[in-house]
Chains A and B, each alone.
Chain A
Amino acid sequence: MASSTEETIKDSTGDGAQNPETKEDEKKDDSMFECNICLDTARDAVVSMCGHLFCWPCLHQWLETRPNRQVCPVCKAAISKEKVVPLYGRGSTKQEDPREKVPPRPAGQRTEPEPGTNFSGFGFGDNSFHMSFGIGAFPFGFFTSTFNIGEPRPHAAPHGTQQHMEEQFLSKIFLWLAILFLTWLLMA
């Protein structure tokens, strides 16, 4: 049982004896994933919009070499740093960081799927964005503040006291402020 498992592992890692055909096939597969600049297996792989594969450090250096003429090294299509797609294979998180000087390769772009039924306002993120304008709860505010319905308030301070005087003074100031504000509104 144990020995057979070992053999399987050996075979899958390619260390075991293989017939030449399989090896050639593997070579072909490898060259499919070679960087077009260093001709080595692409590391921190990115793909241009025209479909050409590069190591990110290689492509970055190419773009740096000719900042005024950013073209694909293979087909000379126009390319830019923003428009390359990184390839994340399995276990890509274990990959070592790109060289120090090289900025991290651009992140993949995820577009959220369109929500089915909801009208998503202005389309900001997950939750729809609502905006409303108006004079806050006009009729109710008017009623409550004018008729003081169901709102127990402290009784007014008795006449003659210091507190009474202050309250009178404040209410006068607010009255004048309100009148000034209204006239300004009318003038404007």
Chain B
Amino acid sequence: MANIAAQRIKREFKEVIKSEEVAKCAIKVELLNDSYTELKGEIAGPPDTPYEGGNFVLEIRVPETYPFNPPKVRFITKIWHPNISSVTGAICLDILKDQWAAAMTLRTVLLSLQALLSAAEPDDPQDAVVARQYKENLEMFKLTAKHWTNAYAGGPFVNTDCDEKIKRLIDMGIEEHQARVALSSYNWDLERATEQLFS
């Protein structure tokens, strides 16, 4: 069984390398071991989204029963998105669960994730805090997502206001990521974030 999985990953690996998306630097796959069970994926943030310019690293684990069961994928790069956990990077996407089909490949999975970044589904959230912000205050969500893309994925967008607020919390002895999460969760309201952190 594992043989089919390894055979297929080998073939898919070649397919991804040859694909035009790789030529455009939109997706990338790397092997992490010789048994073809652990891979590292990378997707570029799609244009005209808060993720534009960012580069997101994914952890891909191929189960023994692949391709009859989907690969286990999560974001290693921290990301602010309604369908991706800002804490664990777990992804809520139907094709990685019950809508998986055996003819899907690493390439189609990566492209689907890229599409998920362009079209969030706040009604089927993975991260409730992000989803609420997306629904209640879309501009605030975009600002936060852009800031995260800059902080973790190498995005070009720099928001000095956000950075300053984080710096103030760091000065109070809070760890940077913790400060960013608190501020993001409270719509960059420094007072409420501080309150939450010290309560």
Contacts and interface: CB of A to CB of B under 8 A. Distances in A.
Interface range on chain B (Cβ under 8 Å from partner): 10 to 19
A40 interface: yes
Contacts of A58: 4, 102
B12 A73 contact: no
Contacts of B178: none
Contacts of A170: none
A166 to B, nearest CB: 81
Interface stretch (A4-12, A61-69, A87-95, A117-125): A61-69
B7 A40 contact: yes
A47 interface: no
Interface string A102-129: 0000000000000000000000000000
A45 to B, nearest CB: 15
B119 interface: no
Nearest to A74: B103
Contact of B103 (A36, A61, A69): A36
Given A65-B65, A65-B69, A38 B101 contact: no
Contact of A38 (B4, B69, B98, B104): B4
Contacts of A39: 7-8, 11-12
Nearest to A39: B11
Contacts of B12: 39
A73 B102 contact: yes
A37 interface: yes
Question: Which of A38, A40, A71, A74 has the most C-beta atoms of chain B within 10 angstroms of its own C-beta?
Answer: A38
Interface string A19-48: 000000000000000001111100000000
Interface in B75-120: 98, 101-104
A155 interface: no
Contacts of B4: 38, 58
20 contacts: A36-B103, A37-B67, A38-B4, A38-B7, A38-B8, A38-B67, A39-B7, A39-B8, A39-B11, A40-B7, A40-B11, A61-B68, A62-B68, A62-B102, A65-B68, A72-B101, A73-B104, A74-B101, A74-B103, A76-B101
